[in-house]
Structure 1
């Protein structure tokens, strides 16, 4: 038998030598990190005096609790999907489908809450007043600003993981970051109108999610 070393053997040896051990991941701890970051953002926001002044009244409104419950559900599913997808044996695709269904369910529930509180559309002037574009743009900007640190944290966690579907993980991470940012801002936002929230929070979600989808895979490949 020949003991000659083949080129393939040298290549395999070189590749094996360049491998680094993968740190053991603890998804529950990673989720706790995201929760702690949310807590810091919320504390800073409220500490700066931005809590809505009508909070006692808001807590009696079904639309306020719809907002909090909907955002919490989206956060729970998207964050779990993003973190679990960092395991090379897990795919984020099922989680992304569940996220879409959850968002649709939240919107349908919001339509029901809205119908119970006011007419959905009673004229162009009323629609424009409900959308309040000037306030809406400020809300969108603030949510994006609050979501960026969470997106960065998720990017760091993704670098330590081993996702086999970077695009799917990035989508889930973007939705998760948007949700955390929106939930923090929900305690300062004076608007609970489901139409207003669907439009302006939706714009913020879109900006952060698309930005994460475009940038996170590039950073992870770097």
Structure 2
């Protein structure tokens, strides 16, 4: 019996093109480049706070920015991994990193409540500026991670969006934090950590439409 060739199969085969394999190191390199670019922009626009860079700031400066950097890095690694889903993949790292970073705002709130006059006596005229600056500084990393996810095939786009928001805002806030000369626990714990909460909410609800196949 002679088989009749199916032109549809041939047409589909002609449309096939090789696809470059996504590698974890390439995605991480893209995120690192975005972070470095953000730091350079902060240096150009705001200027780095050299007292902190040279190690003469209060311990809260290094603890706060270090926790933001660690939680952002853990979330970024998870986001890059989600572009290439595998059986058995688990993303516990960001949860522990964010739980650790939450110590900072908790310490800030405890300090705020314990100060004379309580929250009513607290006024930080630079707080809103640092909040907005941290969000603006997250844009490059957000773009890099969204681009990487769109090249891949994330299974849970809601989780991918949430972790992208956390990674971008934590890294962006840490980058901006290198320029901020206010190094007390309340300022860093409240206003430098706040962008991460905003980023998590925005990433969960605004980014998934951009990540759909």
Distance 1:145 1:57 in 2: 25
Deviation at 1:104, TM superposition (A): 2.5
- Provide closer, same or farther for how the CA distance between residues 90 and 106 of structure 1 changes in structure 2, counting only shifts above 3 A: same
Say how many residue pairs are matched: 212
- The 3-state SS of whatever aligns with 1:188 is coil
Q: CA RMSD in A?
A: 3.4
Q: How does 1:60-75 map to 2 (within 5 A)?
A: 60-75=57-72
Deviation at 1:129, TM superposition (A): 5.6
Q: How does 1:1-222 map to 2 (within 5 A)?
A: 21-52=18-49, 54-55=51-52, 59-89=56-86, 94-95=90-91, 97-108=92-103, 121-124=114-117, 127-128=119-120, 130=122, 132=124, 134-221=125-212
Q: CA-to-partner distance for each residue in 1:22-71, whole Å, 9 max, x for gaps?
A: 42012112211211121122122113343236437863421111012201
- Provide closer, same or farther for how the CA distance between residues 49 and 106 of structure 1 changes in structure 2, counting only shifts above 3 A: closer
Distance 2:193 2:32 in 1: 22
Q: Is the 8 A contact 1:59 1:65 kept in 2?
A: no
- Provide closer, same or farther for how the CA distance between residues 119 and 164 of structure 1 changes in structure 2, counting only shifts above 3 A: closer
TM-score after normalising by structure 2: 0.80
More divergent stretch after superposition (29-38 vs 48-57): 48-57
Gapped runs of 5+ residues in structure 2?
Answer: none
Distance 2:70 2:18 in 1: 35
Q: CA-to-partner distance for each residue in 1:97-148, whole Å, 9 max, x for gaps?
A: 4323322323336767998xx78612335x456551x311101111111102
Distance 1:159 1:176 in 2: 16
Which structure dedicates a bigger proportion of its chain to helix? 1
Gapped runs of 5+ residues in structure 1?
Answer: none
- The 3-state SS of whatever aligns with 1:78 is helix
TM-score after normalising by structure 1: 0.77
